[in-house]
A and B are shown apart, each in its own frame.
Chain A
Amino acid sequence: MSTCQCKSGFFSLRDCGAPALGQCTTCQRAMCYEHSAVASKFSQCRDCWGRSEQQTATANPRAANANNTYDDDWAYSYRHRYYGSGYAPIYLGTHHSTYYDQYDTRSFHQRAGEIDDGSDNTRAGFNDS
């Protein structure tokens, strides 16, 4: 069973790792129940829904939430806007995804072009050149 490819967190990001229940229709990533946007009727992940909301929302947390719910959909939408304002979260996970590259996350100096041999022993791995 595949696991959710979305990242949790706000000030720092981490892997979700929960069992995936579906696939986002926008980014095609596997997503769990917690990362499915209720507002999109569970067809989009919360990240993609948050990005699509960017056009209508402002940087003020109160402005985009007239009904005072401040639910998880709102939090992901706000997270996207907040990262867009210049905050670069630290990524503590291990599964690097290009999806979050636009946020300029601070993490290991390992990018998509590098090869992870799956071993913790990096001295003997491909990175030791």
Chain B
Amino acid sequence: MFSSLNAFNSLSPVLRRAIDQKKIAGEFTAQVLLEQMRALAEFDQQNSTMRSRLLKWKLLAIALAIGVLFISPLPFLLRLGISAVAIAAFIYLSIITRRLSQFAISQNIGAVALPFIAILKQDMQAAQTLSIRLDLTPAIVSKKCTGTSKPYERGAYKKIIDTTYRDAWFDGSARLADDAILRWRLLDTICESKRSKRSSSGKTKTKLRHYKRSLVAIGLSLPNKSYGVTASASHAPASASKITVQPGDKRSDVKVVRKIKAKSLDPIDPRALIEVISEAYKRATPPTRSAA
């Protein structure tokens, strides 16, 4: 159980600061950023595994305390002693779990940002830096709350309270090896709906539902000396994204926005981000050979 705490202490000061501040921001080469993100994702996975293991031990400790105290045929004082030890263990495990929960970071880093940067690295020169701001705070936290609805009634549910959260968790920009400039922004809007209804036995049951709307927006500024742009992509099926193309003197800008709906808090599929960039590149035409 101390392995997670030891793992935190063995992280570099930069990574410990990233976990404490719950963000990665600044200019990095793709390689340096990937190394940091891999270490953070690995630590978070280890931390998450440990917390779920501690939860099982906590349940076991409380079950032991209740079982021994009320069911066991042992002498009363012995039962009391074992129960006291089990309750002490439960309290101790709760403190450790709370401490480890402070190190918890958003799953988005390992599930979306890491594969995306690994792919973006392929399109960047090794020494070229990229600028990012990655929020590691989980989406459902009070500082991201944008409002709570008044209780209302719908169907069988007698009391529904909706709380919305705005999580602009990932944005950045990078100059790619082909001299294109890529900007991206990922924004999640989450509605947490707490619904209560009275069952036939008279008990009040409460359900918690999450609805997530993810906005994936990218801007690709293509140099005219290397690329042309077209308003429509050739050989491409109808796109699920909104695409705007703005030709300019030196550069042409392609903006792609895609909205994704989900009924869970799971991170979006990183393919969504990769696909919107692909859609922008589909608007680019290959360089033309000069006739002069």
Contact = CB atoms under 8 A, between A and B. Distances in A.
A122 B291 contact: yes
Q: How large is the interface on A (under 10, 10 to 19, 20 to 34, 35 or more residues)?
A: 35 or more
Contact of A10 (B41, B45, B123): B123
A61 B281 contact: no
Given A60-B269, A61-B271, A61-B274, A90 B286 contact: yes
B13 interface: no
Interface stretch (B113-121, B130-138, B141-149): B113-121
A8 B121 CA distance: 10
Nearest to A71: B118
Given A90-B227, A92-B287, A82 B122 contact: no
Contacts of A122: 289-291
B178 A92 contact: yes
Contact of A106 (B114, B226, B286, B289): B286
Interface stretch (A23-31, A37-45, A72-80): A72-80
B115 A61 contact: yes
Interface in B20-65: 34, 38, 41-42, 45
Contact of B123 (A12, A76, A107): A12
Interface string B214-244: 0000000000001100000001000000000
Interface of B: 34, 38, 41-42, 45, 110-111, 114-115, 117-123, 176-178, 180, 226-227, 235, 269-271, 274, 277-278, 281-282, 284-287, 289-292
A interface: dominant SS: loop
A9 B177 CA distance: 8
Contacts of B290: 120, 122
Nearest to A8: B122
Given A12-B178, A92-B226, A108 B122 contact: no
Contacts of B110: 68
Contacts of B271: 59-61
Interface of A: 8-12, 14, 59-62, 65, 68-72, 74-76, 78-79, 82, 87-92, 106-110, 120, 122-123
B196 to A, nearest CB: 36
Given A61-B270, A108-B287, 13 more contacts: A11-B281, A12-B177, A12-B281, A14-B177, A61-B115, A61-B119, A62-B111, A68-B45, A70-B34, A76-B122, A79-B122, A90-B286, A92-B287
Contact of A123 (B119, B281, B291): B291
Contacts of A62: 111, 115, 269-270
A108 B119 contact: no
B269 A11 contact: no
Contacts of B176: 11-12
B178 A10 contact: no
Nearest to A12: B178
A122 B290 CA distance: 8
Contacts of A110: 289
A109 B121 CA distance: 28
Contacts of B180: 12
A65 B291 CA distance: 47
Contacts of A87: 278, 282
B223 to A, nearest CB: 11
Nearest to A74: B118
B7 to A, nearest CB: 14
B286 A8 contact: no
B115 A65 contact: yes
A10 B119 contact: yes
A72 B153 CA distance: 53
Contacts of A106: 285-286
